[in-house]
Amino acid sequence: MNKSPFQPGFTLIELMVTIAVMAVVLTLGVPSFQQTIRNNRLAAQTNNLIAALNLARSEAVKRGMRVTVRKTSTNWENGWQVFTDTDNPVGSGNYGTQEGTDETLRVYDALPGGYTLRGNNNFTNYISFLSSGQSNNMGSFAVCDNSDGTGIPKTGTSRLIIVNSTGRVRLGTDTNNNGIPEKENSDGTVTDITSCTAP
């Protein structure tokens, strides 16, 4: 049986076409993959605060006492803690002055660099939940990927966490589908959040 002197394989042109197709696929795929990673990181940071708020509310009901979530430094993105708040007036900021009466339930680390987490005027420093599960106030928190340093939310870079007067926590909606969450105004209208540092 005669064998062909040529070995089967790819020609140089076939290899060049394959490499060109791979380059196009990577060029189109990498940016969307990076956006997916950014979205997942933002969701993870948002879920951390939601978990803390839900923990505080459930512990307040279970223990029959006020439980507070308070930032541990200048801004919320620097970390926060959940603790039973039995010995101080709500919002006094004197946590731990009576040794042994307050109990730290959980401490949360700072968010990664480039992220901001700010509460509106009602939640500038803390939020407390009463034994009924109600919060001491209603308001919202804005979580943003503020890598560009502008403090302005852009498409897909922010989440809004809303706490109503009954203490229920939910995410802000995006009814106009522009990728920026909307806050509820006192007149019943909704508008996009315009700042990552002053929601």
- Cβ within 8 Å of residue 191, ≥6 positions away: 182, 183, 185
Rounded CA separation 196/34 (Å): 21
Indicate if the pLDDT at residue 144 is higher than 60: yes
- Cβ within 8 Å of residue 31, ≥6 positions away: none
**What confidence tier does 199 reach under pLDDT thresholds 50, 70, 90?**
low
Instruction: Tell me whether residue 3 is in a domain.
Output: no
pTM here? 0.78
Instruction: Tell me whether residue 37 is in a domain.
Output: yes
Instruction: Tell me whether residue 4 is in a domain.
Output: no
Coil, strand or helix at 135: strand
Assigned token pair, 92: 């006094």
Instruction: Tell me whether residue 169 is in a domain.
Output: yes
**What confidence tier does 97 reach under pLDDT thresholds 50, 70, 90?**
very low
Q: What is the domain-level CATH number for residue 47?
A: 3.55.40.10
What is the pLDDT averaged over residues 117-145?
90
Within 10 angstroms of residue 16's Cβ, the number of other Cβ atoms is 11
Instruction: Tell me whether residue 121 is in a domain.
Output: yes
Instruction: Tell me whether residue 122 is in a domain.
Output: yes
Coil, strand or helix at 168: coil
| Radius of gyration in angstroms for the set of CA atoms belonging to the chain, rounded to a whole number | 25
Half-sphere exposure of 64 (CA within 13 A, CB side): 0
Per residue in 56-79, pLDDT (tens digit) is 999 999 999 999 999 998 999 999
**What confidence tier does 198 reach under pLDDT thresholds 50, 70, 90?**
confident
Find out whether 72 and 106 touch, Cβ atoms under 8 Å. Answer: no
Per residue in 26-60, pLDDT (tens digit) is 777 666 677 778 888 889 999 999 999 999 999 99
Beta bridge partners of 129: 67, 135
Residue with token string 């508008």: 191
Where in the sequence is the domain holding 178, given as residue range(s)? 13-90+98-192
Q: What is the tally of structural domains in the chain?
A: 1
Q: What is the model's pLDDT at position 3?
A: 61
Indicate if the pLDDT at residue 98 is higher than 50: no
Side chain identity at 90, as an amino acid letter?
V
Instruction: Tell me whether residue 81 is in a domain.
Output: yes
Q: What is the model's pLDDT at position 61?
A: 94
With pLDDT > 90 as the criterion, what percentage of the chain qualifies? 37
Instruction: Tell me whether residue 106 is in a domain.
Output: yes
Indicate if the pLDDT at residue 88 is higher than 80: no
